[in-house]
Amino acid sequence: MHKQESTLIIERAFFHPSTVRRERTARHEAGHVVVGYRLGIEIKFVTILPTHHSSGHVTHGDLFCGGAGSDDAALERAIKFCLAGQMAEALFYSRYRRRWTSVDYVCALGLARYLTGWGAREIIRYQERETQKLLKLYWKDVEHIARALLEHDELTGIEVENILAPNREEEEKEMNCIAAMAPEEPDPF
Ligand SMILES: [Zn+2]
């Protein structure tokens, strides 16, 4: 059967709207976590339990950590971290639409204004493509984190690390790949 058709049938048959929302939130937060982790941002806590302000959130370390890198590199990393939630949602949910007014995009646009060159929206579109590449590369990790979130609602930084770090050898290769993508960044390890 055609893949899209089978997905559609599964959604209609089994997914109550609130279940779909929870599945999307899990991918959203997992996207922030995995991209943040791979770019060297410390992940302290992640939850998919809703609050007054959000449907879930990630608590992270300083986005401008590792200060020796250029300001632009730190800004680009922070922008990718902001965008990764919605980009992960978009990869998971085909009917997704970008929300420029969401907290994540307002944050990304604010950061993009400090980068010179193109306009902020062009920078965002470029960073979206870069973030999407990272998410596709690490999609298995996104799914692992998302499933753990659906099971436990919340994960600590150590629990995140235990899910993402067991394949040391593979990780070293991946870190070299990241280093190649951002040559001005000092090696975080
Ligand atoms: Zn978000």
Q: Output the CA 27–ligand 1 centroid distance in Å.
A: 10
Domain assignment present for residue 188? The answer is no
Q: Output the CA 3–ligand 1 centroid distance in Å.
A: 28
22-25: Cβ within 8 A, 24+ apart: 22/48, 22/150, 23/92, 23/146, 23/150, 24/89, 24/92, 24/93, 25/50, 25/55, 25/56
- Output the pLDDT for position 184: 60
Domain assignment present for residue 184? The answer is no
| Measured torsion, CA atoms of residues 80, 93, 15, 35, in degrees rounded to the nearest 10 | -20
CATH value at residue 72: 1.20.58.760
Res 142 pLDDT > 60: yes
Residue-number span of the structural domain to which 149 is assigned: 3-174
Q: Output the CA 2–ligand 1 centroid distance in Å.
A: 31
* pTM for the whole structure: 0.76
Q: Output the CA 86–ligand 1 centroid distance in Å.
A: 6
Domain assignment present for residue 115? The answer is yes
Domain assignment present for residue 183? The answer is no
115-139: per-residue pLDDT in tens?
877 798 999 999 999 999 999 999 9
Please give the tally of structural domains in the chain. Answer: 1
Contact, 131 vs 84, CB < 8 A?
Answer: yes
Domain assignment present for residue 179? The answer is no
Average pLDDT of span 92-108: 88
Domain assignment present for residue 181? The answer is no
- Output the pLDDT for position 1: 46
Average pLDDT of span 143-148: 97
Q: Output the CA 28–ligand 1 centroid distance in Å.
A: 6
- Least confident window among 22-36, 83-97, 166-180: 166-180
Q: Work out the number of other CB atoms within 10 angstroms of the CB of residue 142.
A: 26
Q: Output the CA 40–ligand 1 centroid distance in Å.
A: 18
Domain assignment present for residue 180? The answer is no
- Output the pLDDT for position 94: 84
Domain assignment present for residue 187? The answer is no
